[in-house]
Amino acid sequence: MTRPVVDAPVAARVAVLAASGLGVVTALSLVAVLAVPSGPVFALVANLLVTLWVGAAVDAYSPAFGSRWFTVRTWEPALWRRLGVGVFGTALRVIGWERMVTRRRGFDATRSGLRSLDRHTRSSELCHLLVGSAGTVAVVVALLCRDVPAAVWFGGAVVVFHLYPVLLQRILRARISRVVDGNEW
């Protein structure tokens, strides 16, 4: 009897994701016991842990990002700026978030590096969409349980930690497209 061949890197990634997922569930359970699930600490820690885990999963899976979803329409950047996404981006620069993320992006500030920056924006957008969707489910569950404070904290976290970052990635990708198409540089 022969054993099925398992791709070692894939098996290792699955093991790491499973272990980290178990760690996230354990940490969230501990935080739920120590912190008030209706409060801001739980919403913040839950968002942080799930975002880290989903980010690791997306990095390990390395999807192709070929969906039309990732195509930025011409009208989007102006609308997102009117909704304050540019101010949000400025706030991220002021608090130092951009410096921290710049190292992870691998962008070397050249035209040839735009491809990796574009991929990073797609990866980041996907992570924030997934976690924002989970956060929206948490809002609905909290409302069904009549826990309005939890719904408010999770809803606020979804907007600040996931919706605005998604829109910011789309604005950045629109700029990348203009540079690649030769309309800017």
Q: Where are the domains of the chain?
A: 8-180
CA pair distance 170, 172, nearest whole angstrom = 5
Question: Which of these, 166, 157, 153, lies nearest to 83 by C-alpha position?
Answer: 166
CA 75 to chain centre: 23
Give the pLDDT band of residue 112 (cuts 50, 70, 90): confident
Looking at residue 159, its pLDDT comes to 95
pLDDT of residue 171: 96
Name the average pLDDT for the chain. Answer: 83
Kindly report the pTM of this predicted structure.
0.78
Half-sphere exposure in the Cβ direction for 176 (13 Å, CA): 23
Question: How many Å apart are CA 141 and CA 59, to the nearest integer?
Answer: 29
